[in-house]
Structure 1
Amino acid sequence: MDDAAAEEEASMFETSHVLGALLASSPLLARAWDRCTAASAAAPWFVHGEDGGKVYVGFSGVQAALTAAGAAVAGGGADIFAPVSLGGDAAGRMFAPLVAAEPDPAATGEPVAVQALALQCFLKLCCSPDFQMLLNQIRGKAVVFTGHSLGGAVAALTALHYLCISSSSSPPAPPVLCVTFGSPLLGNEALSRAILREHWGGNFCHVVSQHDVVPRLLFCSPDAVPAHIIVGMQLQQWPAWTRHTGAVSTVTAHMADTDKDVLRQLIQTHVGAVAVEQKLAASETTGGSPYRPFGTYVLCSPEGAACVDNPTAAVQMLYATFASQSSAGAESPEAAHSCYGELVLKMPHHLLLKRWLRVDDDMPATPNYDDGVSLALEASGIDVMAMEASTARHWLKTSKRAGRRPSLNCARLATQLGRVTPCRAQIEWYKALFDAEMGYYDAFKQRRSPRKYTKVNLNRIKLGCKQMMNS
């Protein structure tokens, strides 16, 4: 098959919009968000409970915000969200598979690292007897770790730790999923590579609304990160924050006084710089942000959701959705960061509405794949006529497709059939040797068949096992 035919076959089906619609129509996001709100309201480290045969563990970021409030007021954003290596004694043991398989930092330029605040809170959480009891309770069960804002970063670290301790278990551990809502970036590019190397990218689902600034703020260079924005956004999700004074009231007041247009321009500039850097395939610039995404990003808006599981495409889409002209002045940063409960309720109802694309009568007909990309753009909040639509369309097309190509599926089926056909031919020959009085199965049970036919009977058993597995 030539390259043109292969490309055409690879582009038969667009998955970003379909996966987003499937996820939005399931109860997973709504159940996860319920745990997030319960954790934020109670402000413990975590809450948990079973629902639909799964254990949902919701993490609160309030404790992390309270820890960082003083430093945020003093302007210590560079220290709060500075990357910290996982190669230390305590962290190295907890995340051994990620660190042990890490290439030489001298060759790659950076070790596996995560943000300091999330790691500090996670290590403190691990010392809690309640957390150790939780790990014992959920062992052997399907688990969904979830969190909003800073709680999402703690949830992601917990999920990584749980995957690390479960990777060597036998039999394999049940499914583990981490769902974050509006969470800041957690780790650097080395962490993203390590997660891909361990094939854990599919265990992480990051839900990001079109106007939310928190998931995009750590694309800023470390000395330019407005830490009071992230901390203040988290504290506003806590119902009791109005009763606190001191650093809590100061950081929330500072956040409220921030010029929203300046904040938007700051984020757009730094995310755009990272996006351009990736387009040029340039090495990491000095003084730029060390943080990069990993896992699947669910870019959602009131119009729906689109899934992107390629880290490079995720950066481009985070920039395109935020920079889209349709989002200018739409809502305040505070509202955009707390809108996830409303979004997870609206998206399933929106899927019931009839959808059509706005096209010009003079335009030529487009393939179904291109129509699917247009639906994914609209679902993520980008108008198909917007300036950023062409860039976003390109990265949706180049992002990794889910599943095998049809040609690979055909080759796999042909290979399996080639292994089965000789076995079936032997059995048919074996059956023809016996008359109607004594069937081939009864003959073998009563040991009336020669020993040389034992291999044929083993093939019969093998085929029976395959049929049971396929059914």
Structure 2
Amino acid sequence: MGSERLGEKLNISEELIKKSCSLAFKAHKSPDDLFHVEKYASGSSDVVFSFPGSWSVESWASGESAFGEKKIQLSLFPSMKSIGHYDEAAGPGGHQDLAIASFNQAFVQKFEHVLQNSQLKNKVQEVVNGKKRIVFTGHSTGGATAVLATIWCFENYPKQSHETFFCVTFGSPLIGNHIISHALRRENWSQYFIHFVMRYDIIPRILLAPLSSIQHEFKRILPFFDPNSPAYASESIGSSQEAFLLFRNVMRNAASLTTHAASKLQGSTNPLLETVKKFVKLSPYKPFGTYIFCTGNGKLVVMKNPEAVLQLLFYSCQLSSESEGARIVLKCLNEHLAYENELEGSLDMQCVAYDDNLETLPLASDGFFDDLGMSKKARLCLRAAGEFEKQKRRNQEKVGSKLEMITKHLKIIEDYRALCEHTVGYYKAFKIHKNKTDFDANLSRIELTGIMDEVIEMFTRYDLPDELEATKEWINLGTRYRRLVEPLDVANYYRHSKDEDTESYMKKGRPTRYKWMQRWLEYEQKLQTGSCGESCFWAEVEELHKLSGNFAAVYKERERVLRVQEQVGKWIQDGVIGKDVLLKSSTFEEWWSKLPADLQTETISLLVNGLGNVQA
């Protein structure tokens, strides 16, 4: 736990947070407006965009899925995916679906409506041009719109400083699955999303239950929050049977989800966990960014660990006894409207706890988590969430300790490539495989395969810090490894005629590690997926080489033949692959020299002739 002032920790002043809250509730009271824009203060460099919430069931639930979620269109939010998992060529299903973030469909539709039917784009551009910071804010579903607007700005203004955009929400519902948290952390955007949650506010927890299971009660409750409704803040609604049933259903579903999540955090391998998921539909929604829980007595608890936030959302809203049910249920509704008053006092008190060392959280009284009703079981779940994040850092250190070994073996293969540069090239030499140098290179290839497969498996399971997926160090290392070693994997594949037992290398033989590393580079350079195939073009050459002599078959593959040549020519000119590809008797030259003259491209002809002059 820390003593640093909240504003300093979050890089946004307490006064601006209060102003954001005030403007969020101002927008809340004008639900017919799409958004409001207001300067924080005269002469300030901060401009606040606030969005109103919506108070119909349709504004929360759209589509046919139980929880109202849908895979996002990457054209709108291209970063909202796991880079390594994502594969455009794979189409729907399998890992492809796991790679793309799911968002609440109704919230996205509302944001798209605001984007298309208002001056939001123009106003944002105006503020950006004026080199001012934008704070997006909203209460309830207005907070969901604010989140989407912030992500949209990060996506569309990549050259702006990350600190140009901030998002502060109050009582916002969850908006999507764990891929959002993963992507925001990877892009270094997560720290700019701040969510305030009152201890008993039901709205941030509402999507932990299937909307179909609470639709009737929710529809009856929503007028309580609607400032244009005669039933606004009505105690009769807050004390109704519908309110109690809504609370009970949400918390019952939250219990299933958090129990399942906690079991996985604690390393449970019980197969019943996955069996339960087949019969009990668990909410896909997960927290992201920084959560600030308001205890109700002036204290604040700051959480950045998404797994810990999920546990807190459940455990902080528990009944201590059945007799207090009616009081707590009314509190769950009232607190959704109480953020202004709560923050006015708590931000001044500066009685704040941070989740810096959750894995050592005391199981006994601590003065902060007591005020959120944290039982010993709850604290154990928070400890597990803290330990999970700490384990990711340990995994990072473990992988980092192998960099020296990786570099050593890459150097051996680089030396091997240099040795073969003036004979038949290292691809052909490795495929022939008759010298001790070939054997040594193969030992290094095998050693590197074990290390890299272990690393990629960690990425696949999200067992490494999310931000590692986009670091220069890993992109550069992965690219160097892929360009150097994959040609040897291709050579080994065709040397042992594995294509005859299964299918071609590109269809069945290409290891996951190379696909991940290729996507990292393509994502960093904003290139089309599949465009950086310089490490595996040999596989295509091998398949085309089989057609040599069969002119009918060669002409049938005309487009492919020409494309490979153009790609290789460009990669050689760009220095991505070496000119040894064109050596006399290399696999590429053997294939190319047997092509009909009208299929031999001018680019390769000039390069081959140029190399021949140099050799002569």
Q: TM-score range by the shorter chain?
A: 0.5 to 0.7
User: Match for 2:70: what amino acid?
Assistant: V
Aligned partners of 2:317 and 2:187: how far apart in 1?
A: 31
| Range with greater deviation from structure 2 (130-139 or 321-330) | 321-330
Aligned partners of 1:231 and 1:158: how far apart in 2?
A: 29
The aligned counterpart of 1:68 is 58
Aligned partners of 1:231 and 1:152: how far apart in 2?
A: 22
The aligned counterpart of 2:333 is 334
From 70, 75, 80, the counterpart of 1:84: 70
User: Structure 1 254/389 Cα, relative in aligned 2: closer, same or farther at 3 Å?
Assistant: closer
The aligned counterpart of 1:241 is 229
Question: Structure 1 residue 292 and structure 2 residue 281: aligned?
Answer: no
Aligned partners of 1:81 and 1:269: how far apart in 2?
A: 15
The aligned counterpart of 1:468 is none
User: 3-state DSSP class of the match of 1:144?
Assistant: strand
1:423-465 Cα shifts (integer Å, max 9, x gaps): xxxxxxxxxxxxxxxxxxxxxxxxxxxxxxxxxxxxxxxxxxx
From 132, 147, 150, the counterpart of 1:156: 147
User: 3-state DSSP class of the match of 2:161?
Assistant: coil
Aligned partners of 1:322 and 1:205: how far apart in 2?
A: 20
From 185, 203, 215, the counterpart of 1:226: 215
Q: Percent identity?
A: 21
User: Structure 1 319/94 Cα, relative in aligned 2: closer, same or farther at 3 Å?
Assistant: same
The aligned counterpart of 1:94 is 76
User: Structure 1 339/183 Cα, relative in aligned 2: closer, same or farther at 3 Å?
Assistant: same
Mapping of residues 172-183 of structure 1, within 5 Å: 172-183=161-172
From 310, 314, 319, the counterpart of 2:309: 314
Aligned partners of 1:97 and 1:393: how far apart in 2?
A: 29
1:119-148 Cα shifts (integer Å, max 9, x gaps): 111111111241122121221321111111
Question: Structure 1 residue 130 and structure 2 residue 122: aligned?
Answer: no
User: Structure 1 113/29 Cα, relative in aligned 2: closer, same or farther at 3 Å?
Assistant: same
User: How far has the Cα of 1:107 moved from its partner?
Assistant: 2.0
User: Structure 1 108/18 Cα, relative in aligned 2: closer, same or farther at 3 Å?
Assistant: farther
Aligned partners of 1:216 and 1:307: how far apart in 2?
A: 17
> Where in structure 1 are there 5+ consecutive unaligned residues?
1-13, 356-367, 409-471
| Range with greater deviation from structure 2 (336-345 or 14-23) | 14-23
1:43-96 Cα shifts (integer Å, max 9, x gaps): 2111111114311111001xx435827x98xxx896695112213xxxx32212
Aligned partners of 2:361 and 2:284: how far apart in 1?
A: 35
User: Structure 1 20/321 Cα, relative in aligned 2: closer, same or farther at 3 Å?
Assistant: farther
Number of residue pairs aligned between Structure 1 and Structure 2: 357
The aligned counterpart of 1:271 is 254
Aligned partners of 1:280 and 1:16: how far apart in 2?
A: 32
TM-score, normalised relative to structure 2: 0.51
1:238-279 Cα shifts (integer Å, max 9, x gaps): 432239xxxx9xxx9988744333333222221111111112
User: 3-state DSSP class of the match of 1:147?
Assistant: strand
1:382-437 Cα shifts (integer Å, max 9, x gaps): 26xx4555336635754869xx99xx9xxxxxxxxxxxxxxxxxxxxxxxxxxxxx
Return the index of the structure with the highest Cα Rg.
2
Aligned partners of 2:378 and 2:348: how far apart in 1?
A: 25
User: Structure 1 292/107 Cα, relative in aligned 2: closer, same or farther at 3 Å?
Assistant: same
Aligned partners of 1:297 and 1:191: how far apart in 2?
A: 15
User: Which of structures 1 and 2 has the larger relative contact order (alpha carbons within 8 angstroms, sep 6+)?
Assistant: 1
> Where in structure 2 are there 5+ consecutive unaligned residues?
88-92, 265-272, 354-359, 398-616
